[in-house]
Amino acid sequence: KGESYSNDKLGRVLVNAYASGASSMIICNHSDFKQAQWENYVRSKKWALDISGSGEKTVYAKFKDQAGNESEIVSATIIFDVTPPKDGEIIINENERFTNTRNITIKLRSDDAARVRIVSNGTGETFDFKADESGWMKIKWQLDSTQGLKHVRAYFMDDAGNRTSTPEEATITYKFRGP
């Protein structure tokens, strides 16, 4: 069993095939093998998926021995996804502007996220993205001990490894003493 996802923008994958007694093979992105040609059998071959649109992609193969006997068609499927999660949002303490405690609650949501990386003042941690029935995920977070404006950033990642390049950001001012 190979990879479940490919996020290579050119659709490059490595096809691994084992066929006992095979001397040649034919590989194609279509089960009719149109425009495909027989070639010498190798156990591992670089291959380009059909990248017209995201989603499930199937690679088909047949093998032939020295006597010309052909195998049945075999196939493998992979999900081609080059799109990072979208519509990300981050809220700190229900949009409060100030806090007098370092302990905050971060609410997050995003379409197609599997993980989220929270970063604040050089500290970061990655969490599995598990939204509740309303579509939001809550994380308990502790700010650093320095008073002032705090920036909390969220980077969302999907199962294919695509990551948002620009983080979603929220701020809150931490002040535990009066003037």
Task: Using alpha carbons, select from 11, 5, 3 the residue that is nearest to residue 161.
Answer: 5
Q: Are 59 and 29 in contact (CB under 8 A)?
A: yes
Q: Which pairing describes strands 168-174 and 98-99: parallel, antiparallel, or unpaired? A: parallel
| 97-139 tens-digit pLDDT | 999 999 999 999 999 999 999 999 889 999 999 999 999 999 9
**What tokens appear for 84 in the block?**
């990072």
Please tell me the distance from the alpha carbon of residue 36 to that of residue 25, in angstroms, as a whole number.
10
**What tokens appear for 68 in the block?**
């010309």
Query: For position 68, what pLDDT does the model report?
Result: 95
Q: Is the pTM of this model over 0.85?
A: no
End-to-end CA distance of the chain: give it in Å, rounded.
Answer: 63
Give the list of residues 6+ apart from residue 111 with CB closer than 8 angstroms, or none: 85, 86, 87
Q: How confident is the model at residue 176 (pLDDT cuts 50, 70, 90)?
A: confident
Query: For position 3, what pLDDT does the model report?
Result: 87
DSSP code of 95?
G
| 152-162 tens-digit pLDDT | 999 999 999 99
**What tokens appear for 11 in the block?**
């659709």
